[in-house]
Structure 1
């Protein structure tokens, strides 16, 4: 059995989404061909973004969980760079500190900054 090589999102404007994710989260764009873009975050698998093909719908209801040492700082940086607040940093009852944002250029995708409490 193999592990996950990459995660692909289907978004209407891959270039705009890749640029926004780079700007807000500090990820690196590895490739951008207009209808396809690839980004990486340190220590993570690539995130590929494709334009939807004929008959395909854009991705919706996706949550990308990011492992953060400092949830509050990551959240504040993302918001200061243009992310929209979904949930302020909160200690959840299941033992995680979590904060969520959305990025306008990636509709249907929520970014969750999280780490175990303690």
Structure 2
């Protein structure tokens, strides 16, 4: 097959077979769409945050899961990480250009969802 939904053209002309289990693009999609990956990208869309600020902005995520998610997104090139050599170290995270590019449609998706949901009842 030479085209269709399962192939993405890259700048170098190489093709990724995204439905193949060992495709590197599939790993990035898995990290972005993981339970916490989406929330990290959306939380960082406005500005860079320190680890604990990010954890506070994403309710329900454990330190362990946030650290694992951030590690994967940094490896994928979606998030940058900066460590300030203080005691304790202050670690700040933000979106790379690639991360902003991926995060934009996610933000639009959530905006569309929240516009379509019925108003919440006061509890």
Is TM-score (shorter-chain normalized) higher than 0.5? no
Larger RCO (alpha carbons 8 Å, 6+ apart): 1
Q: TM-score range by the shorter chain?
A: under 0.3
Larger Rg computed on CA atoms: 2
TM-score, normalised to structure 2, is: 0.27
TM-score normalised over the length of structure 1: 0.27
